């Protein structure tokens, strides 16, 4: 082997720009591993590269003892004296191991080390090149399917489009050109280091920035994006200049700008929503195309109670709850939707229950928590059933029951007269029509 190994090390270090000391350390470690594998790991060995002769040397160490119990780590005094006459019991002696095939082992290890080091160096280069490009849109060719997703050839390197960053129901074939956004760059590990996304809200944001000059210039700002990838999205925008309409800027003449984005997402419907600092206005915008009657805000729980005309319930909720889900996501608030009719009933029930609560000197919430939703439910219940209500005692149950019966009867009378009023009103309408 002689000086060949030394030459090889110098050459590789120079060509590949790998630190020489690092290369030697790694090589020693690799050979150590091979020797241990071959001779067992109970040996105490040291592997070193002898610069002068350009060879790898393996030294084994043993402790001098009177009686050997572990031959791999111990040696008798007589035997040790053959190596070194001054040795005493308790000393540690080292002697060179003659390992057959050491040259071959060294060559093999050197090859593996070099390949690994080159891989690491390449990874380092890719990492350095791409780490500041997170958020950038890149384009490449679909190379193959991998168990983690699609591998895309970007030219300089490969990128991975993982399953959870794909748009559901989007199909690719080898050789298809595809664009995506760089989501992450990993510094090590196997497989592609660059991870890209097509389903992330930021990708949509980046495409708007590319298609809409006003966003690029900072005149229009995207305040939020919520996506149900491939199906529907909402994008909230605001303009910093009074004469620029942010919605119009994003849609473009006859929808020219937004159309390019919709096509990129295979027909994902995009609603452009006007952002507003006032949560009720913003919520009404976010729930479009549905018309809203009124909104009640609960700041503490970040919940909105939205009341819509009866015929607007379907558009407000949207297919599979999509409209309200995306609106809620973009606002960061919970949204409960009621129709006028349902809300009217709830309101009436609530008023009735409040009267009952006052009669029994407890809070409405205690009645609701016990599972009673309206006056009717309280009136129908037995006194034992009403004792489930927290905070109520034997003496208050009768008051509660009596109040519920009274209120129910008066409500029913009220309903009958309302029905009569309605009949009168219908009759008068008919007369007017005639």
Per-residue pLDDT tens over the stretch 208-224: 999 999 999 999 999 99
Domains of the chain: 4-127 (3.30.1480.10), 134-197 (2.40.50.140), 201-332 (3.30.300.20), 342-433 (1.10.150.20)
**3-state DSSP percent of the chain in helix, strand and coil, to 5:** 50, 25, 30
Query: What is residue 433's predicted lDDT score, i.e. its pLDDT?
Result: 40
Confidence of residue 428 (pLDDT cuts 50, 70, 90): very low
Give the SS3 label for residue 223: strand
Please choose, from the candidates 360, 358, 353, the residue with its C-alpha nearest in 3D space to the C-alpha of residue 392: 360
**Rounded CA separation 223/96 (Å):** 71
Tell me the per-residue pLDDT of 377-411, one tens digit each, with 9 for 90 and over: 666 666 666 666 666 666 666 666 667 667 776 66
Contacts of 160 (CB under 8 A, 6+ apart): 146, 148, 149, 150, 151, 152, 191, 192, 194, 195, 196
Highest mean pLDDT among 4-8, 191-195, 331-335, 337-341: 331-335
- Using the predicted structure, report yes or no on whether residue 361 has a pLDDT greater than 70: no
């Amino acid at each position: 082997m002689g000086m060949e190994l030394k030459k090889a090390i110098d050459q590789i270090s120079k060509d590949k720009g790998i630190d020489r000391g690092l290369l030697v350390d790694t090589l020693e470690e690799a050979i150590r591993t091979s020797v241990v594998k071959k001779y067992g790991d109970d040996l105490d060995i040291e592997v070193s590269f002898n610069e002068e002769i350009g060879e790898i040397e393996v030294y084994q160490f043993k402790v001098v003892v009177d009686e050997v119990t572990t031959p791999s780590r111990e040696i008798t005094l007589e035997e040790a004296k053959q190596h070194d006459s001054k040795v005493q019991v308790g000393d540690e002696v080292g002697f060179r191991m003659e390992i057959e095939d050491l040259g071959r082992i060294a060559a093999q290890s050197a090859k593996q080390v070099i390949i690994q080091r080159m891989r690491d160096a390449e990874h380092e280069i890719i990492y350095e090149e791409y780490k500041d490009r997170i958020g950038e849109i890149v384009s490449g060719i679909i190379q193959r399917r991998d168990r983690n997703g699609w591998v895309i050839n970007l030219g300089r390197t490969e990128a991975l489009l993982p399953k959870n960053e794909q748009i559901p129901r989007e199909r690719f074939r080898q050789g298809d050109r595809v664009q995506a956004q760089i989501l992450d760059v990993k510094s090590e590990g196997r497989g592609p280091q660059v991870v890209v996304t097509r389903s992330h809200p930021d990708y949509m944001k980046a495409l708007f920035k590319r298609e809409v000059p006003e966003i690029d210039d900072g005149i229009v700002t995207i305040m939020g994006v919520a996506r149900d990838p491939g199906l529907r999205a909402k994008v909230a925008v605001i303009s910093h200049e009074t004469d620029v309409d942010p919605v119009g800027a994003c849609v473009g003449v006859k929808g020219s700008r937004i159309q390019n984005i919709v096509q990129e997402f295979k027909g994902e419907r995009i609603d452009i929503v006007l952002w507003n600092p006032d949560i009720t206005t913003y919520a009404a915008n976010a729930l479009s195309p549905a018309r809203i009657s009124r909104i009640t805000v609960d700041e503490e729980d970040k919940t909105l109670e939205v009341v819509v005309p009866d015929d607007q319930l379907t558009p407000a909720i949207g297919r599979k709850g999509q409209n309200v889900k995306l609106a809620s996501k973009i606002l960061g608030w919970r949204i409960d939707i009621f129709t006028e009719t349902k809300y009217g009933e709830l309101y009436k029930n609530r008023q009735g229950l409040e009267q009952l609560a006052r009669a029994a000197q407890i809070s409405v919430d205690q009645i609701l928590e016990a599972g009673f939703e309206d006056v009717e439910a309280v009136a129908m219940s037995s006194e034992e059933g009403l004792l489930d209500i927290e905070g109520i005692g034997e003496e208050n149950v009768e008051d509660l029951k009596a109040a519920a019966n009274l209120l129910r009867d008066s409500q029913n009378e009220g309903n009958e007269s309302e029905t009569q009023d309605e009949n009168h009103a219908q009759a008068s309408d008919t007369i007017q029509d005639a």
